Amino acid sequence: MNTKAYRPAGTQDPASWDMVGALNLSKQLTTGRVLAELAEEGHDDLMVLTADLGRPTQVKVFGDKYPDRYFNFGIAERNMIGASAGLATTGWKPVISNYSFFLALMGVENIRNDICYPNLPVRMVGTHSGIAMGFYGTSHHCNEDIGALRTLANLTLMAPCDGNAIAAALRGTIKHEGPIYFRVGRGREAVVYEEPPSWKIGGSNVICEGSDATLLAIGNLVKAGLDAQKLLGSAGIRLKVVDCYSIRPIDKQRILTEAAAHSVLFSAEEHNVTGGFGAAVAEVLAEAGTSTKLIKIGMPDQYSILGPPLHLYRHYGMDGEGVAKVIRNSLR
């Protein structure tokens, strides 16, 4: 892996893996700001909960403005999930913001039994998903949350790819009466949307057009897809990139439309390729009886090595060059 761009922690370099020294770089974690705006607009039923991660997940912004509607549970994630369910039964609209591993994987039993089973309007924002925690290791990486959560009845599962997408997701689903899990990154992703995009449950957005191949991507891999589109364009390959932000329910019509136009489709995700977004796409293709081949780009079925996130993305082929290489080789 190339380490020339790497500098020690505390230098505020975007490639730094240091979390504490780089909190002010997490510009794309807009959850706290957007929730504060919604509260100012009259949504008096919003309540924000976190488990000692108000600053890293950027929801302390809400807590500073509305301290009576902001609760820090310490490292008691399951208690937090249970409390959110209780609040929802009394008319509040709780929003949990926490690292995805500690929320989705540690808390899956409570999410299932306390929130999804009674179909309560709890919003869960799982940040630092995938391998975004870099050197913090397997205990903080989260490459399995889609696979764990997309089998839970009543749960809507979405993956906003940047700060404007998070804003659109929170605003666009504010009236939804069931539970939603938003899977987001570490807040230092490149901007994809210059303004909040159109957003609906079960939807997707075409980011750029192309007639030679289609990449169905979520989260951080949307930007990687755009980078790949530029690289492939120089070789005469025109790539369409689709942000399939709604994972459950998934945009079946979009998938089948693209399948009808190509003999091979590509999916991309910062998640284990087993059981994740690509698997959901494969289910749609198989159930419809299509002959279109699917090539899944993402984490191999293994635990990640440790290192700075940007280096890990390159190592596992989840950057623009890696995505472009897979597509180029598959179209030969």
Stretch 192-211: mean pLDDT? 97
Stretch 7-15: mean pLDDT? 41
**H helices present in the chain, as ranges:** 31-40, 60-65, 77-89, 100, 108-110, 145-149, 163-172, 220-233, 252-261, 277-287, 309-315, 320-330
Q: For residue 19, which amino acid is it? A: M
In the chain, helix, strand, coil percent, each to 5? 35, 20, 45
- Per residue in 153-198, pLDDT (tens digit) is 999 999 999 999 999 999 999 999 999 999 999 888 899 999 999 9
- Per residue in 95-112, pLDDT (tens digit) is 999 999 999 999 999 999
Q: In what order do the strands lie in the sheet with 246-248?
A: 70-72, 46-50, 93-99, 123-127, 180-183, 156-158, 246-248
**Do the beta carbons of residue 185 and residue 26 sit within 8 Å?**
no
- How far apart, in whole angstroms, are the C-alpha atoms of residue 96 and residue 116? 14
- Which residues pair with residue 97 across a beta bridge? 125
- 10 Å CB burial of residue 25 (0-12, 13-18, 19+) is middle
Give the domains, in start order, of the chain with CATH numbers: 20-183 (3.40.50.970), 205-330 (3.40.50.920)
Residue 18: its pLDDT value, please?
55
Length of the chain: 332
- Per residue in 114-135, pLDDT (tens digit) is 999 999 999 999 999 999 989 8
Residue 27: its pLDDT value, please?
79
Residue of higher predicted confidence among 204 and 20 = 204
Stretch 14-18: mean pLDDT? 51
Stretch 44-52: mean pLDDT? 97
Residue 322: its pLDDT value, please?
98
Residue 22: its pLDDT value, please?
60
Stretch 218-235: mean pLDDT? 96
Instruction: For residue 6, name the pLDDT band (cuts at 50, 70, 90).
Output: very low
